[in-house]
Amino acid sequence: MTSTSPNNSRLNDQLPLSTNMQAVQEKLQLFRVLYVESNERRVESFRQAFGSQIDVTDVPDGQSALAQLEHGEPVDLVLFNDDLDSLLFLKELGARRKLAHVPVVLLTDRTNIDLRQAPFHGHVIDAFPHNYSEEALRIRLKYLIQKKDYEQSGRINPKSASIRIPIGKRLFDIFVSLFILIMISPILLVVAILVKLDSKGPVFYSSKRVGTGFKIFNMYKFRTMSTGADKLLAGMASQNMYNAPVVEKTDDERCEVCKIAGTSCQQPLFMDQKQICEILYQREQKAKAMFSKFKEDPRVTRLGKILRNTSIDELPQFYNILRGDMSFVGNRPLPIYEAEKLTTIGYARRFAAPAGLTGLWQVTKRGKAKVSDQERIQLDVLYAKTYSFRTDMLILLKTLKAVWQKENV
């Protein structure tokens, strides 16, 4: 252990009080992740990808993690490799009352983990595969960092930070979705056969969506597009109904400040093992359209157009509602690439509402070509501020009128 010399001690005493306080505040504001991983390559890859945003401490096993949690600096999140006996670690964590509040994210290749069951419930807030998408994990970390900032600034009550669907709304979702699934089961079977006969590919389409509190889940639909449709998305930017100006790129990967100063990049950001300028990256992200929707989308199959115009393609989402991933009424869960652009304070408020099958935006702006992404965001934020059972019932009634839309969007 390194001791402090008398000279250093006197120097510290002479520092202004405001300087010491600032250092303490900066230390408290750090978002600390304890990464439990024995593979050094994985640790290094994680540091390169996220080290500029968070403070990372790594330990090789669960016992070392418990020791670090008890005797080391406070930790905001534990990232745990499931292969290192996560069950034992979680049981030990649950037995130590002062560590019960520490959230855990599992890295696992198991697909049958139910996070609502012991010992995961109350500790594990999310799970990602070992070959996780940096984009998906970055969104989750951004939300947790922002949540900590809110709590420290006093803008929200830490006790109410956990976003939960009201019990009355949840009971309504369970009973109605179960009843509907039973009643429409013959329709589901017929549509599944037609999708299979119409074009090659699976019957159902599953995509990662970001819902309530930035929770990532699999949302299900009947497949309405040809296989490989996602690969065509990048080449269709000019047809986007939420189109935004294109940012011109230069050969010099530095911002104007660094160019004038004649220095290398002073705000590096690492993505996919590549260093880029954080200022240029944020500027490029702001210039992109926040949502993607296309009129007369060429990727949609013949049957898909009918399913979309009648909203029959959405029927499998009653299963998502039954599971608790979504509610009947809320803000539409977004694809990860769209949700990533909505992590600023004003935009992120739309994620405080339940994710929904239908919502305020669908019944007021659906299918209108001139709707802007800002209008859609404001409608989502408005719903998050004001939703109630009465509001939900009105939106459901209006949805019945809007469901038979004619526009191919």
pLDDT of residue 75: 92
pLDDT of residue 308: 86
The residue extents of the domains of the chain are 22-160, 167-241+299-402, 256-287
pLDDT of residue 36: 96
pLDDT of residue 45: 92
Q: Which two tokens mark 196?
A: 């299979």
**Which run of H or E residues covers position 328?**
strand 327-329
Which positions of the chain have pLDDT values less than 70? 1-29, 150-163, 228-298, 341, 343-347, 365-373, 402-409
pLDDT of residue 118: 81
pLDDT of residue 101: 82
- Do 362 and 402 form a contact (C-beta atoms < 8 A)? yes
Identify the CATH class of 22-160: alpha beta
Q: For residue 39, what are the β-bridge partners?
A: none
Q: Which two tokens mark 403?
A: 């469901």
pLDDT of residue 255: 66
Q: Which two tokens mark 255?
A: 């911002």
Phi, then psi, of 45 in degrees rounded to 5: -65, -40
Enter the DSSP assignment of 300.
Answer: B
What pTM, to 2 d.p., does this model score? 0.49
84 CB neighbour count, 10 Å cutoff:
20
> Cα torsion at 320, 118, 144, 267 (round to 10°)?
-110
pLDDT of residue 403: 59
* Residue whose pair of structure tokens reads 């209008």 in the numeric block: 375
Distance in Å from the first CA to the final CA of the chain: 65
